[in-house]
Structure 1
Amino acid sequence: MNARVEKTTLAAVALQVGVSTPTVSKVVNGREDVAPETRARVLAALEQAGYQSPLQRRSATKAGTVVEVVVDVLTAAYTVEVLNGILQFAAGADVEILVSATGPATSRQSNPERRAQRIIDEGRAGMIVVTSAFSEAQLHAFRRRQVPVVVIDPLNPPPADVVSVGATNWAGGKAATEHLLELGHRRIAYIGGIERAECNQARLHGYMAALAAHGVPVDPRYVISGGRFRRDSGTAGLKALLKLDQRPTAIFAASDSIALGVLSEAARQGIRIPEDMSLIGFDGTTQGEESVPALTSVAQPLEEMGRAALRALLRQARGEVLDSRRVELATQVIVRDSTAPPAA
């Protein structure tokens, strides 16, 4: 269908439904500023007319469906488990997954227009971005070309019309802190990851909310910005906390990787976990489960997050209208061996 025929089809549908051609165009492009009843009538008329979006027509000419997945690093346990979920769903849906590890700096510096056009030229159905910092310009370049993008745990909040998948980070941060409070801890520290990251901010605010609910003031000396969701953030964070006159009796680490860094540094410093200091992480990865002592953690449904992201992307590629563009999956505190009541 060439551009002139496409324009004629949209105009004909607009006349049939009794709306303007720009309104039909909004429905075709997945815009949200159309009344649900009007959207349903337009979609029915488009289907009756046999109209296909540009992305649907591109997909129909390809032998198979290929989805690109962009990750920060491939070595993180978090990323591996999310990828497992994506690959599991892809196997059942006969979808090929292409993985690229770019790092956040590369993602920010790449040419948005060129990258979006490459996705089209190479016949990809769309892109899933895992924890990378995609800019507004990059996401806009994809939207203008009608290329579906789904972001998982984005570092910066995505635009309202971009589908994002994550966990209940605020509720998880609150539950982690409440677990420590219920054990009797009052001097509880928070070691965060990337400070600006949306998930980090939500976990920190959950931590603060739990303390406030129990009448415990937030001590700013106990809030450490790790800079990254990596082990070295936990190592540096514990070193900073040990310099205080009054050390915390428990630590809430914003990721399992940070918690494992705390655990290794505690062993070097002769601090026993949990006898001298309790420790809880966030992610629920197998690395935390296999650590010594086994790590208490707020488990995210990481594999399900991967499956949900691919499911949403494929629905967009088929031209379906999603009920919600924000998917939040529930977290759960998994109590293991690294938390206990504070020493007398």
Structure 2
Amino acid sequence: MPDRAAGNLTARGEIEKLPSGSLRVRVYAGVDPVSRKRRYLVETVPAGPSAAADAEAVRARLVREVDTHRASRTRTGGAPGPAAPAGGQAVTPAVARQRERRTSDLTGATIARLAGVSTATVSKVLNGRSGVAARTRQRVETVLREHHYRRPDSPARAASIEVVFYGMLSNLAIAVMHGVEQVAGAHHLSVGFTDVLQLSTHRSWAQDLLARRPTGVVTVHLTSPTEPHTLLTASAIPLVALDPTGEPQHPVPSVGATDWNGALAATRHLLDLGHRRIAVITGPPDRLCARARLDGIRAALDAEGVPLDQRLVRTGLWFAFEDGLNHGRELLRLADPPTAILCGNDLQALGVYEAARQAGRIIPDELSVVGFDDIAPAMWCGPAMTTVRQPFTEMGATAAKLVLAIAAGKPLGHDRVELATTLIVRDSTAPPRPPA
């Protein structure tokens, strides 16, 4: 049931059913005369047989409080403002804001009551301790998420930043860790890491981090799953995502690179060399960066009036050497093979190198190859690889700076930071060989 207009003296309020079965009661309480923001009285009724009746009783009480306060303000000539408690005592804007904060700041005891567990159980969940059944833990996490709970106290944190990887991708991981270490060291913090792929399936990485209570967390190449984000946010541990693989389910601050621009520059480079039959090996389509790079390639081709030939597009299962090797073999077996191949990353490009070697094709005389990332082997392979450099060290440092800013309570200018990519031209690209 929607609230009535702000000028009415009667507020009907609304009752919202939450996924856990709890009912949230919200009654419009006027406009704060200082901030000019709409204010509400909010209470939550636990799930149960009498929840509906209890919610109606709460709504009626809150409506009476609002109407009593508004009537009092009208009689004294004041503008309707945030509601006072029943009894008619005048409320200053500062007091109203303080009371609103008290209303919205849920305690651990309230979370326990809503979840139907003990406060000790809530404490165990928030601190990543064992001794809580999986279904009970899930129920507590659901309530934490529904009510956007954030721990009101400031428990002691370890002087460290934790970096969470989904597989330690050697060169990428090392570069990211160096960036985080540069910032952490300047603030006398240590750096730890977790590899999600190596963890036991019986325990989430968020639980492990809650037990260690780091100053903040940087995730690398992970999605933003609900459960870890909920637990870390509820326990007041800052989280920043570096190059998340998918759309975040929560407004998580993130750091990335200009994938679209990098792919655009790489494609233009091949077009400028004279290539028109250009093949593409992409990363997994569920990865944001893979989609952005494909879009950048398409944009460059469209601008030149060269349509992207879908028969020359291959989709990799991973950003892996095997993708480049297998798809490279297919592309080079075509009756009219491509003169150049754009790869989703350097590992795929190295796979194409091997496919070209097996097919007896000389790079770059008979085939130009472009990678993405600029990992160390891109300089060492023969010929040295043309690629798009991602500033992984700077990305790690930027993510660490954001974590520390959040931990210090500083406002962030942007929730998303993208650092520039750079086309690095080496020896794996050349003009296409003229037809015989």
Residue aligning to 1:122: 212
Residue aligning to 2:262: 172
Partners of 2:346 and 2:207 in 1: CA distance: 37
1:86-165 equivalence runs, <5 A = 86-103=180-197, 115-159=205-249, 161-165=251-255
1:15-64 Cα shifts (integer Å, max 9, x gaps): 5286475579989xxxxxxxxxxxxxxxxxxxxxxxxx858822xx35x5
Residue aligning to 2:164: 70
Partners of 1:223 and 1:195 in 2: CA distance: 12
How far does residue 221 in structure 1 lie from its aligned partner after superposition? 1.5
TM-score (norm 1): 0.80
Return the structure number with greater relative CO, CA threshold 8 A, min gap 6. 1
Higher helix share: 1
1:247 to 313, 337, 352: 337
Partners of 2:265 and 2:103 in 1: CA distance: 45
Residue aligning to 1:228: 318
Partners of 2:298 and 2:407 in 1: CA distance: 40
1:37-52 equivalence runs, <5 A = none
How far does residue 240 in structure 1 lie from its aligned partner after superposition? 1.8
Residue aligning to 2:41: none
Conserved 8 A contact 1:232-1:261: yes
SS at 1:196's partner residue? coil
SS at 1:146's partner residue? coil
Residue aligning to 1:16: 94
Q: 1:22 to 1:340 in 2, by over 3 A?
A: farther
Conserved 8 A contact 2:224-2:250: no
1:120-152 Cα shifts (integer Å, max 9, x gaps): 332212221111234234323322333211111
Give the AA of the match of 2:163: V
Specify the structure having the higher radius of gyration (Cα).
Answer: 2
Conserved 8 A contact 2:255-2:416: yes
Residue aligning to 1:203: 293
TM-score (norm 2): 0.64
Q: 1:96 to 1:245 in 2, by over 3 A?
A: same
SS at 1:313's partner residue? helix
1:299 to 365, 389, 392: 389
Conserved 8 A contact 1:56-1:317: no
Give the AA of the match of 2:396: G
How far does residue 193 in structure 1 lie from its aligned partner after superposition? 1.7
Give the AA of the match of 2:186: G
Partners of 1:228 and 1:284 in 2: CA distance: 17
SS at 2:244's partner residue? coil
Does residue 1:218 correspond to 2:218, yes or no?
no
Unaligned runs of 5+ in 1: 1-13, 28-52
Moved over 3 A (4+): 17-27, 53-56, 109-112, 115-118
Q: 1:120 to 1:289 in 2, by over 3 A?
A: same
Partners of 1:77 and 1:304 in 2: CA distance: 14
Q: Which moved more, 1:306-315 or 1:88-97?
A: 88-97
Q: Percent identity?
A: 36
Task: Give RMSD over aligned pairs.
Answer: 2.6
